[in-house]
Amino acid sequence: MTRLGQMLYDDGLKAGKSEGRIEGSDRMASLTKKLLEAARMADLQLALDDPGYREKLMDEYGIK
């Protein structure tokens, strides 16, 4: 790969990671709001500790 190609690749990778972090943060905020509104504090705690359970809850609430 050329230096220019590597620079473009690195820039794209950084941008993708940044977008992924923002998307993940937004999804978690949405889930947190939903669980707080439903007074599901125990589920919120589990979601913080267990990524699999977190995804299950996001599916339940339609958070994509």
CA pair distance 38, 51, nearest whole angstrom: 20
Query: So what's the pLDDT on residue 44?
Result: 97
Over the stretch 14-24, which tens digit does the pLDDT of each residue have? 777 778 788 99
Taking residues 37-56, report their average pLDDT: 97
Q: Does residue 56 carry a pLDDT above 90? A: yes
Q: Where do the domains of the chain lie?
A: 3-60
Report whether 27 contacts 63 (CB < 8 A): yes
Helices 41-49 & 3-37, crossing angle to 10 degrees? 160
CA pair distance 56, 40, nearest whole angstrom: 14
Report whether 40 contacts 54 (CB < 8 A): no
